[in-house]
């Protein structure tokens, strides 16, 4: 099938949530994703925070969608099964100047209708240094890649076509439709949803002269070993650094029990420069230790970076509101520009809004057979009785492949059997967590590769780590004649 009514460009959290919302209706939808899986870019490389809205400018779209989105998370999580936890957040003030900032933040929060904000002088965090803190109970955490996968896979089982490793090269308006040229052929669509993230300007440029610029801003993170998970219960943020329009170095617990330090904020020229730097990694540890003196010097198990799509440069304060609108110059092109933090939180609300924009073009008729694929509990989260029952049903539940996180062979096979057709090592990692422990795949990688070979008949020379050209191997040692 090459003709669609809606083409979503970009399979990140925004594109996937929009695709899922649309999948309820009888609308032929396709998602083009140039990476080898959904959540290939910023959608997996962020803090995984469900923001409350205290950090957004009142009356902005950021504030509106953040607060609306926040309220939709519980229901979404119940429906699709991805994990969330409302840990709450403390914004820490170390001195009187900073306490004044807390009061300002509380005000902003009130303006944005953020409930139950409270300035406290004694906080429930024995390891944190502070004079006073703003307690934000509606802030929470989620695994951004798990959530994106849940939304995308649910869209896929409801007939949204996901085309991975498919890059949009050119778009032309042809009569009332768009002719979309990709590396995997040509497609036609009535509507384009530009949720291409950092590449949103490239897409606009294919159809019109953009009236905006994007300013890539890199955020680096450190991931700490689960051994240290009992240092904090809630998120710990310093008072926001005004100059950059970003949040500063945070300490965020994850659903799985790790701790994230970061992000940093560095304006860069190359939007694909997802490196981690020595300077920043050291700075993250130093700044985090100022908030939590008992943070260990060792214990980093991973580091990563994500690139924010900012619409304002550093010398203009680095802050600009979201632009979510149908292009006036190119009807049918719905742009989502500058979707940076609180993008993850805003996604469910943004998707509902985009639905409304789409409904101006098509009548949204609900499907009667809307399916739900609910994320199942992990083997290691089940009771002993449930575990025994599963092993009896299918013995591959009984073989543990990822020893750090206790992930079974069955879960790896399920991950590789995903409805999107993603078959990289990271596709396994982000679905069932194998490889995300402290040994970082030291034990499980060889076994996952063996499963790919045996159960999925994959050619070892074709196995990739995460993206189309990230091959794991170059050749066989001894060639086997066929």
Partner 1 sequence: MPKKEITCIVCPIGCKIIVKTDGKNCKILDGNKCKQGLNYAKSEALDPRRVLTSSVLVENGDWPLVSVKTSVPIKKKNISNVLKEIRSKRSMAPINSGDIIIKNVAKTGAAIIATKSIKVTK
Partner 2 sequence: MSNYIVDVAIIGAGPAGLAAAASARENGAKDVLILDRNGWLGGILPQCIHDGFGVEETGNSMTGPEYADKYIKLIEKKNIFVMAETMVLSFDKNRVINAVNKKGLHKIKAKSIVLAMGCREKTRWNIMIPGDRPSGIYTAGVAQAFINLYNIIPGKNVVILGSGDVGLIMARRLKFEGSNVHGVVEILPFASGLPRNVVQCLDDYDIPLFLNHTVVNIKGRERLESVTIAQVDEKMNILPKSKKEIRCDTLLLSLGLIPENELSKNIGIKLDEATGGPIVNQFFETNIFGIFACGNCLQVYDTVDVLSKGAKHAGKNAALKTKNKNKEINVKPGKNIRYIIPQKITNSGKINFTMRVLKPEQSVTLIAKINNDEIYKKKLRWVNPANIVEFDIEINDDLLKTGKDLEVSLDA
Q: Which residues are catalytic?
A: 51
Number of residues that bind partner 1 (CB under 8 A): 3
Q: From partner 2, partner 1, none, which one binds at residue 450 (CB under 5 to 8 Å depending on kind)?
A: partner 2
Binding residue for partner 2, selected from 403, 414, 455, 458, defined by CB under 8 A: 403
Instruction: Please tell me whether residue 450 binds partner 2 under the rule CB under 8 A.
Output: yes
Q: Is 356 among the residues that bind partner 1 (CB under 8 A)?
A: no
Is residue 81 a contact residue for partner 2 (CB under 8 A)?
no
Please report, as residue ranges, which positions from 374 to 393 form the binding site for partner 2 (by CB under 8 A).
384, 387-388, 391-392
Reduced to 3 states (helix: H, G, I; strand: E, B; else coil), residue 401 is strand
Distance CA 133, CA 355 (A): 39
DSSP character string of 137-170: TT-EEE-HHHHHHHHHHHHHHTTPEEETT--EEE
Q: What does the alpha-carbon distance between residue 359 and residue 354 come to, in Å, rounded to a whole number?
A: 8
The 3-state DSSP class for residue 267 equals: strand
- Tell me the closest approach of the beta carbon of residue 407 to partner 1, in angstroms: 24
Identify which of residues 179 and 458 has a Cβ nearer to partner 1 in the complex: 458
Q: How far is the CB of 463 from partner 1 (least distance, A)?
A: 16
- Give the integer Cα–Cα distance in Å for 391 and 414: 15
Q: How far is the CB of 478 from partner 1 (least distance, A)?
A: 4
| Window 191 to 250, contacts with partner 2 (CB under 8 A) | 227
Among 96, 315, 368, 475, binds partner 2 (CB under 8 A): 475
457 part of the interface to partner 1, by CB under 8 A: no
Task: Between 129 and 440, name the residue whose CB sits nearer to partner 2.
Answer: 440
Closer Cβ to partner 1, 383 or 475, answer by number:
475
CA-to-CA distance for 363 and 49, rounded, in angstroms? 34
Residue 1 binding partner 1, by CB under 8 A = no
Q: Residue 126: is it exposed, middle or buried by C-beta count within 10 angstroms (0-12/13-18/19+)?
A: exposed
Does residue number 301 form part of the binding site for partner 2 (CB under 8 A)? yes
Tell me how far apart the alpha carbons of residues 293 and 289 are, in angstroms, rounded to a whole number.
5
Closer to partner 2 by Cβ: residue 181 or 466: 466
Three-class DSSP labels, 39-97: CCCCCCCCCCEECCCCCCCCCCHHHHHHHHHHHHHHHHHHHHCCCEECCCEEEEECCHH
How many Cα atoms within 13 Å fall on the side-chain side of residue 24? 12
Residue 74 interacting with partner 2 (CB under 8 A): no
Confirm or reject binding of residue 454 to partner 1 (CB under 8 A): no
Which of these, 450, 335, 358, 354, lies nearest to 401 by C-alpha position? Answer: 450
Phi, psi of 144 (to 5 degrees): -60, -35
The residue (of 168 and 400) whose beta carbon lies closer to partner 2 is 400
- Give the single-character DSSP code of 311: S
Q: Which of residues 463-482 bind partner 1 (CB under 8 A)?
A: 477-478, 480
Q: How far apart are CA 216 and CA 198, in angstroms?
A: 7
Q: Which of 75, 103, 185, 471 binds partner 2 (CB under 8 A)?
A: 471
- Residue count, binding to partner 2 (CB under 8 A): 54
Instruction: Note whether 120 binds partner 2 by CB under 8 A.
Output: no
List contacts with partner 1 (CB under 8 A): 477-478, 480
List contacts with partner 2 (CB under 8 A): 227, 272, 274-278, 281, 298, 300-304, 384, 387-388, 391-392, 395-396, 398-400, 403-404, 406, 438-443, 445-446, 449-450, 460, 464-478, 480
């Amino acid at each position: 099938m090459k003709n669609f009514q809606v083409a979503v460009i970009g399979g990140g959290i925004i594109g996937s949530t929009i695709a899922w919302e649309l999948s309820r209706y009888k609308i032929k939808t396709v998602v083009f994703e140039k990476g080898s899986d959904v959540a290939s870019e910023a959608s997996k490389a962020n803090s995984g925070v469900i923001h409350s809205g205290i950090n957004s400018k009142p009356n902005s779209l950021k504030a509106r969608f953040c607060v609306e989105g926040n309220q939709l998370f519980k229901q979404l999580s119940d429906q699709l099964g991805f994990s969330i936890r409302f840990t709450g957040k403390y914004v820490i003030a170390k001195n009187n100047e900073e306490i004044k900032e807390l009061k300002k933040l509380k005000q902003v929060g009130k303006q944005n209708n953020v409930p139950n904000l409270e300035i406290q002088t004694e906080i429930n965090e024995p390891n944190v240094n502070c004079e006073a803190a703003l307690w934000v109970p509606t802030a929470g955490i989620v695994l951004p890649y798990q959530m994106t996968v849940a939304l995308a896979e649910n869209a896929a089982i409801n007939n949204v076509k996901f085309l991975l490793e498919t890059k949009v090269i050119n778009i032309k308006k042809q009569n009332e439709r768009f002719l979309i040229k990709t590396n995997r052929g040509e497609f036609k669509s009535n509507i384009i949803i530009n949720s291409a993230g950092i590449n949103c300007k490239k897409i606009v440029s294919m159809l019109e002269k953009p009236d905006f610029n994007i300013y890539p801003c890199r955020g680096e993170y450190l991931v700490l070993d689960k051994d240290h998970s009992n240092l904090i219960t809630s998120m710990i943020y310093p008072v926001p650094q005004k100059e950059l329009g970003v949040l500063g170095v945070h300490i965020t617990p994850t659903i799985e029990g790790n701790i994230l330090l970061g992000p940093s904020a560095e304006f860069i020229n190359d939007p694909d420069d997802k490196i981690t730097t020595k300077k920043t990694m050291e700075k993250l540890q130093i700044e985090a230790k100022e908030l939590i003196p008992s943070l260990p010097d060792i214990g980093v198990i991973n580091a990563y970076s994500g690139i924010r799509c900012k619409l304002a440069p550093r010398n203009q304060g680095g802050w600009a509101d979201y632009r979510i609108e149908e292009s006036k110059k190119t009807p049918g092109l719905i742009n989502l520009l500058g979707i940076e933090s609180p993008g993850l939180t805003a996604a469910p609300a943004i998707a509902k809004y985009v639905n409304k924009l789409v409904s101006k073009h098509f009548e949204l008729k609900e499907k009667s057979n809307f399916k739900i694929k609910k994320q199942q509990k992990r083997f290691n989260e089940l009771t002993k009785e449930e575990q025994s029952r599963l092993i009896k049903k299918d013995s591959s539940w009984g073989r543990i492949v990822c020893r750090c996180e206790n992930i079974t062979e069955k879960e790896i096979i399920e991950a590789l059997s995903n409805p999107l057709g993603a078959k990289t090592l990271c596709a396994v990692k982000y679905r069932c967590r194998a490889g995300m422990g402290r040994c970082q795949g030291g034990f499980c990688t060889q076994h996952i590769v063996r499963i790919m070979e045996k159960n999925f008949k994959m050619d070892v020379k074709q196995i990739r780590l995460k993206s189309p050209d990230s091959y794991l191997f170059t050749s066989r040692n001894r060639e086997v004649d066929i």
